[in-house]
Amino acid sequence: MTAAVATRGLTKSYGPLLAVEPLDLELEAGVVLGFLGPNGAGKTTVIRMVTTIVRPSGGSFTVAGLPDSRPAEIRRRIGVLPESAGYPEAQTGEEFLRYHGRLYGLPRGGAKAAARRLLVEVGLGERASSLVSTYSRGMRQRLGIARALVNDPQVVFLDEPTLGLDPAGQRQVLVLVAGIARERGATVLLSTHLLVEVEEVCDQVLILNRGRVVANGTVAEVARRAAAPRRARVQVPPGLRDRAKAALADTDRLRIDEVENRPDELELTIAAGIDPELEAADALRRLLAADVPVLGFTLEGGRLSDAFLAMTEAG
């Protein structure tokens, strides 16, 4: 199966500054990829390279099976919402979409129909005839997403589509993103800082830090692989909490805290870099060896936000 996006040693430098280190990436068709990284990590530069807006300093890429030597054909197959995209204030939403539709080769009538359909799809049907200057930021972002879909693209790049939106606006945009993948079958590369939402919407995650890929895989894989601390809760009979603490105390791999107002619970923090499953099993063995009945044991799932912080702060 042809990868929707594939890069080989893709790199970009601005003078002495290496903005993107050689990047190897393969994104399968139909996948929603969460493209994460702190500000200045190189996300926008990568997106601009594979969308043919910025020329790479080295390496190569293909998009929708087309090599980077055919930029016009690549542009025909992709939809992009650029970061901080501007909008012509004096055009109406429909006029804006119609214009872009025609630039993609749609006939006049087809562009008009596509514009109206997309405006309804993104919830702007009733504002189709309003000037863009009267749109809120959230409405503009939704208009930008509609524009990115005007050519029915195979691959959609959304660079910070939720930037500057309130929670309701963020939710609306993320619902749209999920819809693009589900209903259109398009591959989506979503650059964002909303980690919780990435966990909901994305199949895969790629974390970039200082121009270098520090993690790549499914959300669960990345969270598990991250050198982030994990937490576990142990429930023991109330009178045996001190004995449980003593049984677990002879290791520096665990930090043990009592849970406030819960005399039967301990919170264990497993140090970064330690396999949490193995450490949890070892803790259980030691409790049982110390004759402490374990009434409950919960290993909290690795969170993407923890992984993100661990990977990007370490860099």
Tell me which H or E stretch contains 280.
helix 276-289
Binding mask 75-94 for another protein (x = CB under 8 A): xxxx-x-xxxxxxx-xx---
In eight-state DSSP terms, residue 226 is: S
- Exposed/middle/buried for residue 69 (C-beta within 10 Å: 0-12, 13-18, 19+): exposed
Q: Confirm or reject binding of residue 164 to another protein (CB under 8 A).
A: no
DSSP 46-91: HHHHHTTSS--SEEEEEETTEETT-HHHHHHHEEEE-TT----TTS
Shortest CB 58 distance to another protein, Å: 15
Among 7, 11, 44, 209, the residue binding another protein under the rule CB under 8 A is 44
Looking at 132-234, list the stretches that DSSP marks H as alpha helix, in order from N- to C-terminal side: 137-148, 167-184, 195-201, 219-225
- DSSP β-ladder status, 230-235 and 265-270: antiparallel
Closest to another protein by CB, 147 vs 231, is: 147
43: its two tokens = 């996300």
Site string for another protein, 189-218 (x = CB under 8 A): ----------------------x-------
* 3 state DSSP class of 230: strand
State both tokens at 130: 């309003």
Q: Which residues pair with 216 in a beta bridge?
A: 206
Length of the chain: 315
Q: Are the beta carbons of 19 and 59 closer than 8 angstroms?
A: no
| Angstrom distance (rounded) from CA 14 to CA 239 | 64
Minimum distance of another protein from residue 188's CB (angstroms): 14
Q: Which has the closest alpha carbon to 146: 192, 105, 95, 217?
A: 95
Please report whether residue 114 would count as binding another protein according to CB under 8 A.
Answer: yes
Q: Which is nearer to another protein, 3 or 97 (CB)?
A: 97
Which residue has 């970061």 as its token pair? 83
Least distance CB 19 / another protein (angstroms) = 4
Please select the residue that binds another protein; options are 2, 108, 134, 314, rule is CB under 8 A: 108
Residue 62 CB, shortest distance to another protein, in Å, is 15
Q: Cα 228 to the chain's mean position, in Å?
A: 18
Distance of closest approach, residue 277 Cβ to another protein, in angstroms: 36
The minimum distance between CB 245 and another protein, in angstroms, equals 46
Footprint of another protein on 262-301 (CB under 8 A): none
Contact of 9 with 23, CB cutoff 8 Å: yes
> Looking at beta carbons only, is 210 or 225 nearer to another protein?
210
- Which residues have C-beta within 8 Å of that of residue 270, sequence separation ≥ 6? 229, 230, 231, 232, 253, 254, 276, 279, 280
Closest to another protein by CB, 133 or 298: 133
**First vs last C-alpha separation in the chain:** 34
Interface segment toward another protein; rule CB under 8 A; list 113-121, 216-224, 273-281, 301-309: 113-121
Instruction: State yes or no: residue 28 binds another protein (CB under 8 A).
Output: no
Please state the closest distance from residue 315 (CB atom) to another protein, in A: 15
62 binds another protein (CB under 8 A): no
Residue 27 CB, nearest approach to another protein (Å): 19
Query: Tokens in use for 199?
Result: 């966990």
**From the list 141, 151, 204, 312, which residue makes contact with another protein (rule: CB under 8 A)?**
151
Question: Would you count residue 140 as binding another protein (CB under 8 A)?
Answer: no
Q: Which residues bind another protein (CB under 8 A)?
A: 12, 14, 17, 19-20, 39-45, 48, 51-54, 72-73, 75-78, 80, 82-88, 90-91, 95, 99-108, 110, 113-114, 117, 121, 144, 147, 150-152, 154, 160, 183-184, 211
